[in-house]
Amino acid sequence: MSVLIVGTTALDSIKTPNAENPRLLGGSASHAAVAASFFSPVKLVGGVGEDFPKKYVELYRRHKIDLEGLQTLPGKTFHWSGEYELNMNNRRTLATELGVIETYSPTLPKTYQTAPFVLLGNIAPALQHRVLDQMQRAKFVVADSMDLWLNIALPDLLKLLKRVDGFVLNDSEAHQLTKEDNVFTALKKIHALGPKYVIIKKGSHGSILSGPKGFFICPAYPLHKVVDPTGAGDSFVGGMMGYLATAKGSIDSNIRRAMVYGSVTASFCCEGFGLNTTTKTKRSDIEKRVKELEKLTKF
Amino acid sequence: MSVLIVGTTALDSIKTPNAENPRLLGGSASHAAVAASFFSPVKLVGGVGEDFPKKYVELYRRHKIDLEGLQTLPGKTFHWSGEYELNMNNRRTLATELGVIETYSPTLPKTYQTAPFVLLGNIAPALQHRVLDQMQRAKFVVADSMDLWLNIALPDLLKLLKRVDGFVLNDSEAHQLTKEDNVFTALKKIHALGPKYVIIKKGSHGSILSGPKGFFICPAYPLHKVVDPTGAGDSFVGGMMGYLATAKGSIDSNIRRAMVYGSVTASFCCEGFGLNTTTKTKRSDIEKRVKELEKLTKF
């Protein structure tokens, strides 16, 4: 089955203590779509400007991503630039140029409206609502978000949480949303806001699912070197949704394994700037790391 | 088989935003010994002052801890007082009164010198050396430490690392020791200092073992409320060593499970002040949580 993915399609300029990387392909939808494409057909929803490089359209195509829902709009592509500290944990936004994203409002092609799996990647909650309004037979809808929307669009986000099956956020966002330090208490409070499945991402410490079958403690793949964590969270949820869309059986019987696949896909994302390493990854590389993670967690 | 445990035997006064708890039984040896006692016979090595409450000697006895190596010395028992912040992650030392610990030098009873499992709990590295000097047939020796000794007794600690099989430390200490942010690279660097088994503790994020059979990602038991984390690390390593001392087979075939038992024992420690909850815990309570952790991590 296919996954519809909406989110930002952006150009990222990423500075680290050791390198500068201008205008890489980035954005939540790009990372999530490429990650999901390892497992299932992907329908991308996004808006780019007239300056969007052709090579990035080619990259999407190489991953067999359906681009009928990718609109080219008059103006410039959303551009984010940021800087990472030496330890790769703290990042600082240097500039955000919204470009075409500022007035973008997604209109879905007919063939998109019946996609059974829907990932509302990180973008303004109003746009996530707008996509959901156009879906007709969604079987499983997951939303991602970020601290920005908790700050400036909380009412929209809270309304969205009542419309989705799953919600994914990181530990600091969970703290911001619930005022809870304890991750398990935070999970409980987020369920009360609507979603049946809540996943809290903890970066290199893995992630935790709370769902109808209880908790799942999902490991992160051990990386000796993180080159650029930008997009890791999007790759995680993209990989997870891609896996879920092809797995046979119920969501409950597949979601743990889906998270592990997402976690492994995110590990490749961290090993290169932007999508550089992810796009070179093969499905067999992913399978190898999943098997390793099985061994690393067995007792 | 029995475990010899050396470390501090102390009185802890623990302040939190909600409560004050004066002169609880504490110290690395107390926490580790009670934790290990769920699994195997324990021989305690430590020094207390004349003010050491009889009820705490009784507590050790209830856990069938061999006290032949517990010396009562002229003066006062080591007393630590500290304060936790609301989120229970940051603690601040209010006062440290060394008392008898200042001049204490352990002399082991004959029956102690042949204990096959040795836990050099957190105490001055010079005293850990002194205990090790008296051991005759140690099969498996693990050392714990703390940031204080990295600061004021690093040469002693580095010498110790060449004499032990295993070393346990937390993530911030690993960073301090190796100047490495990446936990897997830090583990590699610590192996180069001597120990064949290195375990980095990450609090509520679990722990990671690096040993001859590779990495093991050990989960923490999910707790909705942490009352007092003092002694959790000591309980973890104590439980681990207690389990190892009774398990049949090689260290390599048992250490992962031993860490899970340590992790669960530490979870009980966190649920009450000092040893309050740990001492009320039954072996069956531990087994129940180990089974739960098996379910929570399966995929």
Average pLDDT (B234-251) is 98
Band of pLDDT at residue B27, cut at 50, 70 and 90: very high
How far is it between the farthest Cα atoms of chain A?
56
CB A248 within 8 A of CB A1: no
CA distances A66 to A17, A40, A42, A129, A211, Å, are 36, 11, 6, 21, 31
- CB contacts of A243 in chain B (<8 Å) are none
Half-sphere exposure of B18 (CA within 13 A, CB side): 8
CA dihedral B50→B51→B53→B57, nearest 10 degrees, is -30
pLDDT at A189: 98
Identify which of A137, A133, A144, A134 has the alpha carbon closest to the alpha carbon of residue A27. A144
User: Is A174's Cβ below 8 Å from some Cβ in B?
Assistant: no
CA distances A177 to A145, B122, B170, B239, Å, are 11, 38, 29, 36
The span from the CA of A125 to the CA of A237, in Å, is 17
Q: Which residue of A has its CA nearest to B222?
A: A184
CB A4 within 8 A of CB A45: yes
- CB contacts of B208 in chain A (<8 Å) are 222
- CB contacts of B89 in chain A (<8 Å) are 181
User: Is B175's Cβ below 8 Å from some Cβ in A?
Assistant: no
Angle at CA A118, nearest 5°, toward A112 and A123?
100
pLDDT above 70 as % of chain A: 99
Number of A–B residue contacts, CB under 8 Å: 78
Q: Which residue of B has its CA nearest to A202?
A: B205
pLDDT at A85: 81
From A89, A205, A257, residue closest to B202, measured CB to CB: A205
Q: Which residue of B has its CA nearest to A85?
A: B181
Q: Mean pLDDT, chain B, as a whole number?
A: 96
Name the pairing type of β-strands A207-211 and A197-201.
antiparallel
Identify which of B138, B132, B110, B117 has the alpha carbon closest to the alpha carbon of residue B1. B117
User: Is B299's Cβ below 8 Å from some Cβ in A?
Assistant: yes
pTM (two decimals): 0.95
pLDDT at A89: 66
| Surface of B (62-101) touching A: CB under 8 A | 86-89
User: Is A179's Cβ below 8 Å from some Cβ in B?
Assistant: no
The span from the CA of A118 to the CA of A69, in Å, is 14
pLDDT at A18: 80
pLDDT at B88: 67
pLDDT > 90? residue A86: no
> Which domains are assigned to chain A?
3-297 (3.40.1190.20)
Q: Please answer yes or no on whether A185 and B297 come within 8 Å at the CB atom.
A: no
User: Is A172's Cβ below 8 Å from some Cβ in B?
Assistant: no
Q: Which two tokens stand for residue B261?
A: 């038992």
- Per-residue model confidence as pLDDT tens digits over A93-124: 899 999 999 999 999 999 999 999 999 999 99
CB A244 within 8 A of CB A37: no
**CB contact set of A115 (below 8 Å; sequence gap of 6+):** A1, A2, A3, A4, A43, A135, A138
CB A48 within 8 A of CB A28: no
Lowest-confidence pick of A130-134, A191-195, A253-257, B91-95 = B91-95
CB A188 within 8 A of CB A180: no
pLDDT > 70? residue B239: yes
Average pLDDT (B197-223) is 97
Band of pLDDT at residue A88, cut at 50, 70 and 90: low
Average pLDDT (A156-185) is 97
* A79, amino acid identity: H
How far is it between the farthest Cα atoms of chain B?
56
Minimal C-alpha gap between A181 and chain B (Å): 6
Lowest-confidence pick of A84-98, A118-132, B175-189 = A84-98
Average pLDDT (B265-289) is 97
**CB contact set of A182 (below 8 Å; sequence gap of 6+):** B223, B224, B225, B226
- Per-residue model confidence as pLDDT tens digits over A142-168: 999 999 999 999 999 999 999 999 999
Q: Please answer yes or no on whether B182 and A218 come within 8 Å at the CB atom.
A: no
From B222, B294, B299, residue closest to A260, measured CB to CB: B299
User: Is B150's Cβ below 8 Å from some Cβ in A?
Assistant: no
CB A28 within 8 A of CB A69: no
CB A171 within 8 A of CB A148: no
Lowest-confidence pick of A15-29, A43-57, B98-112 = A15-29
Band of pLDDT at residue B89, cut at 50, 70 and 90: low
What is the rounded end-to-end Cα distance, in angstroms, of chain A? Answer: 35
pLDDT > 90? residue B109: yes
